[in-house]
Amino acid sequence: MRFEMNRRRFLQLLGASAAGFLVTPWAQRQIAAATTTPPSPIRFTFDPTDPEVCIVPPPRKLTGDPDLELTLNAITDQVSILPGQVTQVFRYTGQLIQGNPHQVQAIPGSFLGPIIRARTGERVRIHFSNQLPQQTITHWHGLHVPETDDGHPRFGINPGGSYSYDFEIINRAGMYWFHPHPHMLTGEQVYRGMAGLFIVSDAEEDAANLPAGPFDLPLVIQDRTFDANNQMVYTMMGLLGFLGNTILVNGQPNASKVVFQQPYRLRLLNGSNSRIYKFGWSDGTPLTVIATDGGLLAAPVQRDYVTLSPAERAEILVDFNQWPEGTEILLKSLPFTGATPPVGSLPNGAEFTVMSFHVAAAQNTYLPLMTRSGSPAQASGIPLSPFQRLEPTQARNSGSPRPYVLYANGANWTINGRQFEMNGVASDEIFQLGTQELLEFINIPPGGPGSTIEIAHPMHLHGPHFQVISRTPPTDPTQYTNWLTVKDGYLDEGWKDTVLLMPGERVQIQIAFDHYPGLFLYHCHNLEHEDMGMMRNYRVDA
Ligand code: C2O
Ligand code: CU
Ligand code: CU
């Protein structure tokens, strides 16, 4: 049993961190696996012949010439995050082999991986090497790729191993990202620093004339807890997951940025393990949202705030010319209630500043936003993308969506009462290539009615993006009141790969299974829930 050696450690940890929740043996193993502190030597032993642990995909013959080719390494490293001692991290580094130098761009001073940029239709080849002391595998979150490129934990790569990903970008323009997906270690590896952005552009986006270059700011928002020696601390809060007390933007604490009085495109990714954000401007100015997980909306929408659960993205168009020179405007997370129990020193729903923007005079002439025809536009009036809404009558199960009930069985998170099985797929998890289906996620409290632990779940599907067809608010009065504190920030207008369900909420989605048959994952993107087994396979049959 691979975790036996950690038993003493998890018993210590149980005393320190169980936070009053029940912790099952399954969760105990996860806690044990997740809380050793780097840079210890090899921390996990595993038997590479154990089929539950590792199935190396057959060596593949790479054919044809890629448009973009790079190496990507998972390494242990030390970076300076806080004043004083350096912080031990896990991280991605990359080097361009073939393509345009701007396609692999390191973020200076950040532990985040390089920003990879490609255009729709391009062929990408990534030679990945695992230099971590534990197994890993890379998933391209939001990109629709064949199963052998999708980062399933059954293809986990042992320390010292490597794998060449080779896929075509079939997604539309949007901000996607990559992160590890190894069996039960995803939460820890992302936490230690393993995440990077994958930005796709296309002709439709070019035509929208959005702010570009220095006026296009990708912002990855994460929470961490540091100890007195500036090392990242990772301890479970029972069934909740993990919440840190220090907010990082692109790997930096107390983030601030000088911006000019010009329109900017802010691309937000909630890269946190369990934290939900309710983004708003400090002076109450509404947010103009132009894109979601899967790229541009049909047209911009205005929101007083934007709710982003782990892995969700939103793109905001903001004209800093609306504020006088010298203004300091804060991007905040506004208060909300009921997503999780209010535990930790910075609970989910606490109000805090994410980053500050200092408005400076435009250096050049003011560049107003343009419409496609080239005339200046109000942000709210710009047409963006004429994408089609999916039509529920086109689903083969129109009228009877497949239910997926989210609840804790004892203290194990489940989907329809099941936990993750490496190769397992149940009859209600099999779909037919070329068809559309309606799925309904149903968040009922752990233990069912009468239970007092209520937790939100951001549900994510690998493979094609989906559309939200409908939501049913909670019927319980307290859950309903809590739901009201986040629901106006949902962005159900766009293409999505992750959708938040507050306690008591139900969400219907529609998905078209196209392009690739195979075994793919769906799971809660609270990464601790995922590692605790709140993940399943689904299979698309050709
Ligand atoms: Cu971003 Cu299966 O994950
Ligand atoms: Cu994914
Ligand atoms: Cu969850």
Q: Are 156 and 53 in contact (CB under 8 A)?
A: yes
140 C-alpha to center of ligand 1: Å?
A: 8
Angle between helices 25-34 and 7-17 (to 10 degrees): 100
- CB neighbour burial string for 25-55, b if at least 16 within 10 angstroms, e if fewer: ebbbbbbbbbbeebeeeebbebeeeeeebbb
44 or 340, greater pLDDT: 340
In this structure, are 74 and 184 located in the same domain?
yes
Q: Is the pTM of this model over 0.95?
A: no
Ligand 1 close to Cβ of residue 313 (< 6 A)? no
Task: Among the bound ligands, name the one nearest to the CA of residue 446.
Answer: 3
Q: Is residue 207 part of a domain?
A: no
In this structure, are 377 and 396 located in the same domain?
no
Which of 168, 201, 234 finishes a domain? 201
Q: Is residue 334 part of a domain?
A: yes
13 C-alpha to center of ligand 3: Å?
A: 22
In this structure, are 224 and 373 located in the same domain?
yes
- pLDDT score recorded for residue 387: 87
- pLDDT score recorded for residue 448: 59
In this structure, are 96 and 29 located in the same domain?
no
Q: Is residue 57 part of a domain?
A: no
Task: Supply 408's token pair.
Answer: 């804790």
Cα–Cα distance, 126 to 166 (Å, whole number): 6
In this structure, are 400 and 371 located in the same domain?
no
Q: Is residue 350 part of a domain?
A: yes
- pLDDT score recorded for residue 14: 30
Cα–Cα distance, 292 to 263 (Å, whole number): 19
Q: Which atom of ligand 1 is found nearest the CA of 535?
A: 2
DSSP state of 364: S
431 C-alpha to center of ligand 1: Å?
A: 20
In this structure, are 19 and 106 located in the same domain?
no
Q: Which atom of ligand 1 is found nearest the CA of 462?
A: 2
Q: Are 158 and 135 in contact (CB under 8 A)?
A: yes
What would the pLDDT profile of 227-246 be if each residue is shown by its tens digit? 999 999 998 888 899 999 99
Q: Is residue 51 part of a domain?
A: no
In this structure, are 294 and 218 located in the same domain?
yes
Q: Is residue 61 part of a domain?
A: no
- CB neighbour burial string for 273-291, b if at least 16 within 10 angstroms, e if fewer: bbbbbbbbbeeeeebbbbb
Assign residue 532 the CATH number of its domain.
2.60.40.420
SS3 184: coil
What would the pLDDT profile of 493-524 be if each residue is shown by its tens digit? 999 999 999 999 999 999 999 999 999 999 99
Q: Which atom of ligand 1 is found nearest the CA of 177?
A: 1
Angle at 157 between CA 155 and CA 160, to 5 degrees: 165
Ligand 1 close to Cβ of residue 303 (< 6 A)? no
In this structure, are 227 and 324 located in the same domain?
yes
Q: Count the domains in the chain.
A: 3
Q: For the chain, what is the mean pLDDT?
A: 87
SS3 84: coil
Instruction: Give Cβ neighbours of residue 495 (< 8 Å, ≥ 6 apart).
Output: 172, 174, 292, 293, 294, 295, 387, 465, 466, 467
Task: Among the bound ligands, name the one nearest to the CA of residue 463.
Answer: 2
In this structure, are 188 and 250 located in the same domain?
no
Ligand 1 close to Cβ of residue 179 (< 6 A)? yes
Cα–Cα distance, 197 to 114 (Å, whole number): 7
| Structural domain boundaries, residue 419 | 7-34+390-541
Closest residue CA from atom 1 of ligand 1: 141
In this structure, are 160 and 227 located in the same domain?
no
- pLDDT score recorded for residue 63: 75
Ligand 1 close to Cβ of residue 275 (< 6 A)? no
Q: How confident is the model at residue 62 (pLDDT cuts 50, 70, 90)?
A: confident
- Residue of 218, 216, 213, 178 whose CA lies nearest to 196: 178
Query: How far is Cα of residue 479 from the mean position of the Cα atoms in its chain?
Result: 25
Ligand 1 close to Cβ of residue 418 (< 6 A)? no
Average pLDDT over residues 214-223: 96
Asked whether the bond before 39 is cis by omega within 30 degrees of 0, the reply is: yes
Ligand 1 close to Cβ of residue 536 (< 6 A)? no
Query: How far is Cα of residue 163 from the mean position of the Cα atoms in its chain?
Result: 23
Which of 201, 232, 249 finishes a domain? 201
539 or 29, greater pLDDT: 539
501 C-alpha to center of ligand 3: Å?
A: 9
Q: Are 274 and 240 in contact (CB under 8 A)?
A: yes
Q: How confident is the model at residue 451 (pLDDT cuts 50, 70, 90)?
A: low
Q: Are 308 and 333 in contact (CB under 8 A)?
A: no
Ligand 1 close to Cβ of residue 460 (< 6 A)? yes
Task: Among the bound ligands, name the one nearest to the CA of residue 528.
Answer: 3
Task: Give the total residue count for the chain.
Answer: 542
Task: Among the bound ligands, name the one nearest to the CA of residue 523.
Answer: 1
In this structure, are 359 and 484 located in the same domain?
no
**Pairing mode of beta strands 295-303, 287-292:** antiparallel
- pLDDT score recorded for residue 371: 47
Ligand 1 close to Cβ of residue 523 (< 6 A)? yes
Cα–Cα distance, 439 to 53 (Å, whole number): 30
- Predicted confidence (pLDDT) at residue 367 exceeds the cutoff of 80: no
Ligand 1 close to Cβ of residue 506 (< 6 A)? no
In this structure, are 232 and 371 located in the same domain?
yes
462 C-alpha to center of ligand 1: Å?
A: 7
Report H helices in 4-82.
7-17, 25-34
- Predicted confidence (pLDDT) at residue 42 exceeds the cutoff of 60: no
- Predicted confidence (pLDDT) at residue 40 exceeds the cutoff of 70: no
270 C-alpha to center of ligand 1: Å?
A: 13
Q: Is residue 188 part of a domain?
A: yes
DSSP state of 464: S
Closest residue CA from atom 3 of ligand 1: 141
Which of 178, 201, 224 finishes a domain? 201
Cα–Cα distance, 378 to 368 (Å, whole number): 9
206-210, 390-394, 403-407, range with the lowest pLDDT: 206-210
Q: Is residue 259 part of a domain?
A: yes
Ligand 1 close to Cβ of residue 181 (< 6 A)? yes
